[in-house]
Amino acid sequence: MSEHQFSYRVKEAESGQTAGYFLKAKGYSRQILVRLKRTAGGIRRNGVWIRVNDRLGAGDRLDIRLLEELPVERFRPMKLVFDIVYEDEHLLVVNKPAGMPVHPSVNHYEHTLANAVMAYAQEKKEIYPYRCINRLDRDTTGLLIIAKHMLSAAVLYGQMREKKIRRIYLALVTGEIDRPGVIDLPIGRKAGSVIERTVDMEHGERAVTHYFPLQKGDGWTLVQCMLDTGRTHQIRVHMSHIGHPLPGDFLYGPQDPSMKRQPLHSWKLIFTHPITKERMEFTQPLPEDMKNYMRHV
């Protein structure tokens, strides 16, 4: 069992709101509110335990006691190499290396980011469920957010749904791109494949990718991509569809001895801190294999 404490001061404009309404506005999910109802001293107003339907007054101090049962994880901690870009008691921002899946899967329970984060937490004598907010393909590198508790996760998932987490990628694509563009084409699962996706005008879900060329070389362009949606393999499928696949992409691009994976990097993340409400912005430089490709091809 883990416990987290949060405190708020009720403003004049919030006077008269119920405790439940007040907390929903702070990002508390229905699941968390149900948990607080069942927790002794879960919601206290000026030191007194209250219910979610009790009303608040200006200047009231609201103290929250959030207890979280820790599920038995189906994967074991493994000490693996990954970079911590930022950490506090509420979240982690990590730089994922290539070749590391974000989550364990049916045939791949080990050597994932989940195993690595659990081992890291264990070393620090911290315990929290593994909750990855934004996901990357196994061979895509770069920035990911991991929530350390229920409230942090609820607020960040809400930001994802509302498209308030800006994710900016850098991709190496084949061919030369001279001007920016927008790809607004639906993506769906390719018939007969569990993994592969394709542009599907009839059954696909809307997918929007904005791209901007940054640098060109002999037969390649480094593009910046921003997503309005988060479909599986979105950048890879879209760039391939317009004739600029990523070199070395085993699903959608040409084989290339100079690139052993799809050269796609989660370069920048911008979001609001789930608890402090500060603006958070992080960048990570291109990994060495992408830099080497640009130098030598």
Q: Helices 150-161 and 30-37 sit at what angle, rounded to 10 degrees?
A: 160
Lowest-pLDDT range of 96-110, 130-144, 152-166, 221-235: 96-110
Tens of pLDDT, residue by residue over 118-176, are 999 989 988 888 999 998 999 999 999 999 999 999 999 999 999 999 999 999 999 99
Residue 94 burial (10 A CB sphere; 0-12, 13-18, 19+): buried
| DSSP reduced 3-state for 5 | strand
**Distance between CA atoms of 115 and 206, rounded to whole angstroms?**
33
**Distance between CA atoms of 141 and 148, rounded to whole angstroms?**
21
Q: Which residues pair with 141 in a beta bridge?
A: 265
The active-site residue, picked from 54, 60, 88, 137, is 137
Radius of gyration of the chain (CA): 22
Q: Are 157 and 133 in contact (CB under 8 A)?
A: yes
Mean pLDDT of 207-218: 96
pLDDT of 296 higher than 90: no
**Distance between CA atoms of 174 and 245, rounded to whole angstroms?**
6
Residue 152 burial (10 A CB sphere; 0-12, 13-18, 19+): buried
pLDDT of residue 72: 65
**Distance between CA atoms of 213 and 33, rounded to whole angstroms?**
46
73 pLDDT band, cuts 50/70/90, is low
Is 137 among the residues known to form the active site?
Answer: yes
Neighbours of 218 (CB within 10 A): 8
49 alpha carbon, distance to own chain's centre? 35
Share of the chain above pLDDT 70, in %: 98
User: What distances in angstroms separate CA 23 from CA 33, 113, 155, 287, 297, one per listed residue?
Assistant: 8, 32, 11, 41, 54
Mean pLDDT of 235-252: 96
- Name the residue among 243, 237, 289 with its Cα closest to residue 263: 289
pLDDT of residue 110: 82
Q: Which residues pair with 7 in a beta bridge?
A: 63
Q: Which residues pair with 59 in a beta bridge?
A: none
Q: Which domains does the chain have, with CATH numbers?
A: 2-68 (3.10.290.10), 130-297 (3.30.2350.10)
